[in-house]
Structure 1
Amino acid sequence: MPLIARCLTPLGFLLYLAALSLQAQPTDRLLPGRLKTLDSTLTYLHERALFNGVVLVAEKGTVRYRKAFGTASIATHEPLSTSSAFNLASISKQFVALMIMQLQERGKLRYDETVRTYLPDFPYDTITVRHLLTHTSGLSEYDGLMQRYSGPLDTLTNGGMMQLLRQHKPPLLFRPGTQWAYSNTGYVLLGSIISTLAGMPVEQFLDQQIVKPLKLKNTYAYYLNSQTRPHNRVYGFGRENGKNVMNDLIRLDGVIGDGNIYSSADDLLTWEQALATEKLVRKQTMQEAFKPVELTGNRTYPYGFGWFIEDGGSILAHTGSWVGFLNVIVRYVDKKQTLIVLSNSSEGTARRVARDILEGKPLTLPQTKLITNVRLVDGTGTPARKSAVRLRNDRIWEMGNLTPFPNEPVTDGQGLVLAPGFIDSHSHHVSGLSRQPDAPALVSQGITTLVSGQDGGSWAMDTLQAQLTRQPVAVNIASYTGQATLRQQVMGVNGLYRTAKPDEVTRMKAILRTELAKGSLGLSTGLEYESAFFSSRDEVIQLAQVAADSGGRYMSHIRSEDISLDDAVDEIIQIGRLTKMPVQISHLKIALRDKWGQSARILAQLERARAEGINITADCYPYDYWNSTLRVLFPKRDYTNATSAEFAVTQLFDPMQSVLVRFAPNPVYAEKTVGEVAALRREKPAQTLMALIGEASNYAKNNPDADGIEAIMGKSMDEPDVANFLAWPHTNICSDGANDGHPRGYGAFTRVLGRYVRDQKIIPLETAIQKMTSLTAEHLGLVDRGLIAPGYFADLVLLNPDSVQDNARIGSNKALSSGIESVWVAGQLVYQGQKTTGAHPGVLIRRK
């Protein structure tokens, strides 16, 4: 230093002193502000039961922030302090690794010797000590062995784990040294090596070689049946529906090595600072702990001896997660800063946000809101109960007798029914969402998720995602892949009226596999429609098998709902039998007058199939009239056959009650019954039916770009059959609706709740809601939706069961329903007070 000073001018000397003064200041000028943010954030989290623990931040070994929040034990309510001893969980591994390093320095072991050298009973002869230290051994986790081969009252010990390995020798996950996979088993073995070579229990060696040299006050090893007497011990707990419950040591905790070392925040800082000295091991020995492990093939993985290595070594860190304890220690080597977060409340948010704050990353905090004073109908079918429900971000967090957190948003449910958001398993609303992204037709009847791609027609998954990205919407969307769409892509629009050739089926299967890989729910068919009617059973079965092989499902507008109903039902049962995947009949109905009253027989046929092991289900909408094309009224596709036309008007629909939704060749006919149009034309209804189909066909030829040329709402079902189908335990509710046309697009779900639940009492409210939620999710293979339960998405509907009803009618098909008070999608309010809110949290749900 004097040599440098002699070379400086007076001005230079002053600048040098100023530089020394700056070096004496904290190296991170941003730290004070970040610590202020950290404190307010931890307070926020603690007030919302999202943090119970201790946080310490140091710079150059000097404590800059240190604070304890909450209790050390829910039994005694003893307050935490920075001297409280937490179970470090996997942070224990760095202590175990250092004890191994100490033994190596004393010549007791070598890293690259086999484990069998020190533990002769170890059943693998190629695993070394280094492999254990660096998680490159390929050993599987010991908890699986314990669960499989031990009794429920057995406590696992280090010796017991060795015995399990020796007896069963589970296969290695990979050849040692070739890959990295976290292994608690490896560190338990290190614990056994320490006790064997040291000639004493691990806890005693820890005390002699680490605790006493560093003068740690609250650090020790403690495990079930150990000799140590714990002091200042913190107990783990968790939170279940607003109540704290114990979550501490379990029967696996008779082992030592992978966890079960306890320490306080204060002691951990002393420990961390000692790593830069030679109080425990030589610096050269210590440096090896911070080197990425070398794998075969000139590869490395950023893990050393008990430490993850980040940013090229500028950050060293390790988390610890076990029972109620979720901890982290981070060493910012360049900044000489230390972060320690110790938590005993089964909640890890603090350890994430603390790092984000210190590292200057955008801060995202959990947001909670409470819905109180509701009758909870949770979707399981169990009776309604009084409750409150707390949301956390986009998920359900808690239910029960809950009280608001400070400044928490609260919605008073005023004693109304809170149910899971309804899932429409068969919807044609997607095309209308680009014009109405608020989805009033859906949310006004409580629907939060719609399933598209029905009746054999679909959009590609990428197309749906692009549409949602371009125009977010209020509700979630899932989709099947349509067989008719596949046929059109491969065979062309004009090639659909025949069976597919083998090479065409092969190409369709390839497209279907791609869509399934992108999250399509499965294959849908509309076999009654011309675009798929001419396909053979074999074509459909081959495509269905592709869906089954990908873990998908099959849904079908079956080949006939009238004269060939029995054969059509047999076809879908056969598909379920051959593919062994779930199959579902779309909008189950009997649309032939002579077969009215046979719903019980059809359901018995489905039950026989289920007894055989075929998972066949159905969905159904609550109306006795359908919406489709005029052409489906000719099952033999003989549109100019007068006999077939007469059969249609007497057996397949009632022309006096069946309304033309649209008719492009003559728009005057729209919203008139076929009977009224026949009277205008001075024809018999059968003649008019044939003529309308002919005129629509000519219009299509002259206007090739026209879409939706004609449609009819056909009255052709018997309401007692509809009621029986709705009541079948394996039927879920659907709408089959769109933004225009049939009133079901605006009222199917509320019609069930009003007409069939409240007025006719065909099914209880709880059962109806199950059929709209969890049962639908089960039939579709959706997870995390359809129930009000912790962890499920917060798609919710608040409704008044006394006033809920559909108001949409023929001639007023877009009237909003009554009695739906509020709707949430992913925790965001999308509908309230008969109005949409403009929120668009909907996502594309992909099959998992």
Structure 2
Amino acid sequence: MKYVFAIGLLTVALSASSQDQSTVTRIDSVVTWLHSRQMFNGTVLVANHGKVLYKKAFGMSNPTTKTSLTPASSFNLASVSKQFFAMMVMMLKERGKLEYDDAVQKYLPIFPYPNVTIRHLLNQTSGLPEYFDLAQANMSLLDTLTNTSMLDLLAYKKVPLTFLPGTKWEYCNTNYTTLASVIEKVSGVKCDEFFRKNITMPLKMTNTYIYHLKMKSYPASRVFGFGYDGGKPVLNDLTQFDGIVGDGNVYASAEDLLKWDQALYTEKLVKRETLKEAFTPAKLLNGESTRYGFGWFIDDGGRRISHTGSWVGFNTQIIRKVDTHETLIVLDNGSRVQGRPFIVDVWEGKKATLLETELITNVKLITGVGLPAYSASVRIVGDRIRDIGALAPYENERVTNGNGAVLSPGFIDSHSHHDRGLSDEPTFLAAISQGITTVVVGQDGDSDPIDSLQRSLKRTPISLNLATYTGHATLRQHVMRQRLFRAARQSEVDSMKTLLLREMDKGSLGLATGLEYEAAFFSNREEVIELAKVVASKGGRYISHIRSEDIHIEEAVKEIVDIGRQAKLPVQISHIKIALRSAWGTSPSILNRLQKARMEGINITADVYPYAMWMSTPRVLFPNKDFNNEKSAVFATEELFDPSKSVMLYFSADRSYEGKTVSEIAALHHESPPRALMRLIKEADEKKGSAGIAGYSMSETDIVNFLQWPHANVCSDGAPDGHPRGHGAFTRVLGTYVRDQKIMPLETAIYKMTGLTAEHLGFKNRGIIAPGYFADLVLFDPATVKDNATMKDPMALSTGILKVWVNGRSVYENQKSTGNFPGRFITR
């Protein structure tokens, strides 16, 4: 949706050109709209050659008193303050009180870094550590940080520099708090006094001053920062850090900042030659130029000089186009920075497509953290959740009435194969129709390169988010070619490690293994651990279709625990199950082992899908890989699957087998089910075809136990076709297991589909409903939600899923795709 802005009442200079008038008209329309959406609360000033073209204040200066802002209101400039402290240093330099290349220690003897100069501080090349964490760790709740206490702390702690002075540019507030201490030492007066006598008084800046919490009072023009809680304004102002100055705590009005801007074209403060150096990008020791001078960012060959500031509720910016003498000043005290870039874009003549907003009302909110549902409204702004609470719609805002349904985070499928046919089915209807908004692929050891995935998504956008692991078998096939039926040599492992490292650097979540499958079955534990250590070095994770889900399940569980222990990374069992009839009911024992490992410090988790049938190649029914051994085939039919309930989903060697059970196929050939199983594998091999079976082999009791384990999240292991889990896993949990069987509260189930899954994957800003999180959401009716996919109709859509949003845009509604494709590739 594009917004057309009504022309507002403007303050425009009569001498402004028609082009200027057009610009300020658009600025006023944009700022008015932003303010109406609580995206801007502040003052905007536009000038050309010092003449005001536009000047307007929007909103309140104090959320407690509700006092209105005016263009004379004084905002905390945050980091825009730095340019004033740089000017004070330049003044002292002109008066012969200091030199830029003097060591800071010359003026502050306790400063513990002998090689840091005043110039290094001015142009942000000192290597000093940022002071916030250091100060926080050494302050009590009753302390207020000052320049003196900060300098004492640096002297006492002697924290190492982050780099050799002059070798790198790195923005650091400690540079300017230290400069403030130098100013006071050299001048012999407090910074606020020097500032008043040498800058604000000469320039008649009547609403500009330094204020900090150690001062007893403040002028009436002072603006307070605030934020929003549930759409209502709440104070977000100075903190215990705000007894310090240099990096911030200069207050100024937009009108005064224009006086300051114009003075910089003159010699009212310092000589032109002095000022020229401030607007010259610093050079590093290697000769490389930076984008920073003395308290200013410098772009476009010095024609664009600017700085931004952000602290507590304040977001500020001043931009000076020095060749055309154009000025933009934006001061905001409402904590929301989204509006500022739009104002800048309009001023610079760029296209500004404003963020859409949508209000979802009348819902029972389940936030994805396991807490009880409650009534609330949720506002989406752009791709994020912004407000939660008792919210009223804005004028002309899109509103979705939930009619009492449940709104939860979008479901995250931690083990998915829905990417099959990625470019052919970009709607991902099988997934979004059951409320899934993110799928994690690259499973069971098989993955596509990240570059290939990203090219595909760029070529064909999709409806949901996608992340991937890197497949172990894929690495083996790339390095070992056809020599897969043995353990890898060390040189081959080293080559795999190199490939894996590249994929990790491109955003892979980690390593996925399918150790039960032949491409990886013959790998040894040492090979896997070496690869897992590469992943651990990058902060990644390990997920595994373990080496056995039946006769060797105990050893397979021990193996993944050992991988977690030795590689020191989070490990997850894919679709945990017990596929051995004689072991049914032993899930408590397995879970006890996993819980013991967790108590030993191993971060082991699992995902699980809600079906007693798996889907794979029939070859997995021969754990010893002896496909011609009739005794093994008999064992499979007695212990590993029920041939009368297990269906061949696809069989390229003979399509007539598809949809039939193994027992039915056996009857066609007048043979036993074990012999039919051997026939299927032989025919598929001879014709080099593909074969997939849905094997019935799990106990409902074990499924429930695994679902209930606190560290298990829900997955589908599904694809766009085949097994019904591809269309119904998540809705089956909500309907069959939660509503009908009541194995857990609805809120717990949602947690296992969202917040817990995000935690297991290491996702940031997804998986719960909270301000600032991505707006991946699902609206559903808990009374009617139901999976409808069956073995006979595996692609039947679920019911009860009313609407699905991905990154703030609707992708599913009224039982169909909306045709929107806002999905993104999620990197680690």
Shared topology, TM-score over 0.5? yes
Contact 2:16–2:53 (CA under 8 A) maintained in structure 1: no
When residues 636 and 200 of structure 1 are mapped into structure 2, their CA distance, relative to the original with a 3 A threshold, is closer
Q: Does 1:377 align with 2:377?
A: no
User: Partners of 2:674 and 2:304 in 1: how far apart?
Assistant: 82
Could you tell which deviates more after superposition, 133-142 or 786-795? Answer: 133-142
Partner of 1:18: none
Which residue is equivalent to 1:16? none
Deviations 1:502-560 (A, max 9, x none): 32222222222221221111111112122222222222222222222222211111111
Query: Which one of the candidate residues 198, 209, 219 is aligned to 2:187?
Result: 198
Q: Aligned ranges for residues 151-300 of structure 1 at < 5 Å?
A: 151-226=140-215, 229-300=218-289
Write out per-residue CA displacement over residues 700-747 of structure 1, whole angstroms, 9 at most, x where no aligned residue.
Answer: 1xxxxx4xx222111111111111111111111111111221111111
Which amino acid is the alignment partner of residue 467 of structure 1? S
1:784 aligns with 2:765: yes
Q: 1:213-238: per-residue Cα shift (whole Å, max 9, x none)?
A: 22222112211123664231111111
Contact 1:803–1:818 (Cα < 8 Å) also in 2: yes
Q: Distance in 1 between matches of 2:518 and 2:675?
A: 22
Structure 2 residue 151 is matched with structure 1 residue 136 = no
Residue matched to 1:815? 796
Q: Does 1:691 align with 2:672?
A: no
TM score, norm. by length of structure 1: 0.93
Q: Give the alignment partner of residue 776 of structure 2, picking from 777, 783, 795.
A: 795
Q: Could you tell me which residue of structure 1 aligns to residue 787 of structure 2?
A: 806
Residue 753 (structure 2) pairs with residue 753 (structure 1): no
State the Cα distance separating 1:25 from its structure 2 match. Answer: 10
Q: Please tell me whether the aligned partners of residues 26 and 59 of structure 1 are also in contact (alpha carbons under 8 angstroms).
A: no
Aligned to 1:80: 69
Match of 2:745 in 1: 764
Aligned position for 1:583: 571
Q: CA, structure 1 residues 335+595, in 2 after alignment: closer, same or farther (shift >3 Å)? A: same
1:160/1:413 Cα in 2 relative to 1: closer, same or farther (>3 Å)?
same
Which residue, 682, 706, 731 being the options, matches 1:725?
A: 706
Change (3 A) 1:695 1:288: closer
Q: CA deviation at 1:403?
A: 1.1
2:377 corresponds to: 388
Cα offset, 1:343, TM superposition: 1.1
Are residues 832 and 276 of structure 1, via their aligned partners in 2, closer, same or farther at CA, if it must alter by over 3 Å? Answer: same
Alpha-carbon deviation of 1:626? 1.2
Structure 2: gaps of 5 or more residues: 1-12
Q: What is the CA-CA distance between 1:26 and the residue it aligns to?
A: 6.8
Q: How does 1:392-403 map to 2 (within 5 A)?
A: 392-403=381-392
> Is 1:503 matched with 2:503?
no
Which among 646, 670, 676 is matched to residue 664 of structure 2? 676
- Mapped partners of 2:198, 2:673: distance in 1: 99
Return 274-283 or 578-587, whichever deviates more: 274-283
CA distance in 2, matches of 1:79, 1:832: 43
**Aligned partner (choices 647, 656, 660) of residue 659 of structure 1:** 647
Deviation readout 1:755-781 (Å, 9 max, x if unpaired): 000000011111111111111111122
Q: In 2 relative to 1, CA 175–608 (structure 1 residues): closer, same or farther, beyond 3 Å?
A: closer
Cα deviation per residue 1:313-346 (whole Å; 9 max; x = unaligned)? 2122122222211111111111111111111111
Distance 2:735 2:702 in 1: 18
Q: Per-residue displacement from partner, 1:473-516 (whole Å, max 9, x unpaired)?
A: 111111111112122222224x2222222322222222222212
Partner of 2:101: 112
Q: Where does residue 694 of structure 2 map in the other structure?
A: 713
Q: 1:304 aligns with which of 267, 284, 293?
A: 293
Whether the 8 Å CA contact 1:28–1:335 is kept in 2: the answer is: no
Q: Distance in 2 between matches of 1:315 and 1:767?
A: 54
Question: 1:543-594: CA deviations, max 9, x gaps?
Answer: 2222222222111111111111111111111111111111111111111111
Once the two structures are TM-superposed, the CA of residue 686 in structure 1 deviates from its matched residue by 1.7
**Range moving further from structure 2, 681-690 or 170-179:** 170-179
The answer to whether the Cα contact below 8 Å between 1:86 and 1:262 also exists between their aligned partners in 2 is: yes
1:531 to 519, 528, 536: 519
Look up the SS of the partner of 1:299 in the other structure: coil
Task: Go from structure 1 to structure 2 and tell me whether the alpha carbon gap of 1:405 and 1:113 turns closer, same or farther (over 3 Å shift).
Answer: same
Identity of aligned residues (%): 56
Local SS of the residue matching 1:100: helix
Once residues 229 and 698 of structure 1 are traced to their aligned partners in structure 2, the CA distance between those partners, rounded to angstroms, is 88
Q: Which amino acid aligns with 2:488?
A: A
Q: Distance in 2 between matches of 1:297 and 1:690?
A: 70
The residue identity in structure 1 corresponding to 2:50 is G
CA distance in 1, matches of 2:707, 2:117: 64
Rg larger for: 1
Which letter maps to 1:383? P
Q: 1:147 aligns with which of 136, 140, 149?
A: 136
In 2 relative to 1, CA 641–282 (structure 1 residues): closer, same or farther, beyond 3 Å?
A: closer
Q: Secondary structure at the match of 2:421?
A: helix
CA distance in 1, matches of 2:537, 2:53: 58
Q: Is the 8 A contact 1:113 1:128 kept in 2?
A: yes
CA RMSD of aligned residues (A): 1.8
Partner-residue secondary structure (3-state), 1:355: helix
In structure 1, what is the Cα distance between the partners aligned to 2:748 and 2:818? 29
Does structure 1 residue 331 correspond to structure 2 residue 312? no
TM-superposed CA distance for 1:375, in Å, is 0.6
Cα deviation for residue 656 of structure 1 reads 1.2
The verdict on how the C-alpha distance between 1:635 and 1:249 changes in structure 2, with shifts beyond 3 A counting, is: same
Residue 497 of structure 2 corresponds to residue 516 of structure 1: no
Distance 1:809 1:60 in 2: 73
CA drift of 1:749 comes to 0.7
Q: Which runs of 4+ in 1 moved over 4 A?
A: 24-29
Provide closer, same or farther for how the CA distance between residues 172 and 503 of structure 1 changes in structure 2, counting only shifts above 3 A: closer
Q: What is the count of residue pairs matched by the alignment?
A: 816
Q: Alpha carbons of 1:455 and 1:294: their partners in 2 closer, same or farther (altered >3 Å)?
A: closer
SS at match of 2:61: coil
In structure 2, what is the equivalent of residue 9 of structure 1? none
Structure 1 residues 167 and 401, CA, compared in 2 at 3 Å: closer, same or farther? same
Alignment partners' CA distance in 1, 2:659 and 2:480: 35
In the aligned structure 2, how far is the partner of 1:180 from the partner of 1:689? 67
Deviations along 1:595-628, whole A, 9 cap, x unmatched? 1111111111111111111111111111111111
Report the residue type matching 2:763 in the other structure.
Answer: L
CA distance in 2 between partners of 1:179 and 1:545 (Å): 31
- The verdict on how the C-alpha distance between 1:28 and 1:112 changes in structure 2, with shifts beyond 3 A counting, is farther
**Correspondence for 1:14:** none
Are residues 1:832 and 2:813 paired?
yes
Q: Is the 8 A contact 1:422 1:446 kept in 2?
A: yes
State the alpha-carbon separation in 1 of the partners of residues 466 and 231 from structure 2: 32
- 3-state DSSP class of the match of 2:671? coil
**1:193-246 Cα shifts (integer Å, max 9, x gaps):** 333333332222222222222222211221112366423111111123312111
Q: Distance in 1 between matches of 2:544 and 2:276?
A: 65
Find the residue that maps to 1:430 and give its secondary structure. coil
The SS at the match of 1:295 is: coil
Tell me if the contact between 2:77 and 2:252 (Cα under 8 Å) persists in the aligned partners. yes
What is the deviation of 1:442? Answer: 0.6
Task: Tell me if the contact between 1:396 and 1:793 (Cα under 8 Å) persists in the aligned partners.
Answer: yes
Matched, 1:126 2:126: no
Match of residue 540 from structure 2 = 552
Alignment partners' CA distance in 2, 1:663 and 1:721 = 30
Q: Distance in 1 between matches of 2:288 and 2:661?
A: 75
Q: What CA distance in whole angstroms lies between the structure 1 residues aligned with 2:695 and 2:233?
A: 58
